[in-house]
Amino acid sequence: MKSNCLFCRVVAGEIPSTKVMETERVLAFRDINPGAPQHVLLIPKEHVADSLADLDLTDPEVTITWIELLKLAQEIAGGSPDFSDGWRLVSNVGENGGQSVFHLHMHLLAGRPLAWPPG
């Protein structure tokens, strides 16, 4: 755990969250500042990387965690009618990419048209 990392503190229970689902390696919880009616954050419980750019996919444990994160996104989206009209899975990388918390995470968004490019 990185003591100054917001998401590490969420995993440790130091910061409250509205849990959606979890596995041994991954936690999914509601975003406190949602960008869509359905906005779930999916994070590894262990701080394996600051962002997708830093992810070491040669490490088998990290690869398993990454796959589990993607499977959990599928499970959440597939198990809720709120995602039936479509959904988006996003990983922001770096400040210019919109990243504000430097702990690998994905945003699962749904519940409104998600046009691209945004805005």
Averaged in consecutive runs of 10 residues, what is the pLDDT profile of the chain (119 residues)?
A: 89 96 97 96 96 94 94 95 92 95 96 79
Q: CA 25 to CA 31: how far, in whole Å?
A: 19
pLDDT score, position 22: 96
> What pLDDT is attached to residue 118?
60
**Hunting for tokens 């690998």 — which residue is that?**
104
pLDDT attached to residue 2 = 76
Domains detected in the chain: 6-110 (3.30.428.10)
The helix (run of H) or strand (run of E) holding residue 38 is strand 38-44
Q: What is the pLDDT of residue 110?
A: 96
Q: How many CA atoms lie within 13 A of 53 on its CB side?
A: 8
- Residues with catalytic annotation? 105
Question: What does the pLDDT read at residue 45?
Answer: 97
Please check whether residue 67 is in contact with residue 27, taking contact to mean a CB–CB distance below 8 angstroms: no
Per-residue confidence (pLDDT) for residue 117, from 0 to 100 = 72
Quote the pLDDT of residue 115: 79
Query: Is residue 77 within 8 Å of residue 38, measured between CB atoms?
Result: no
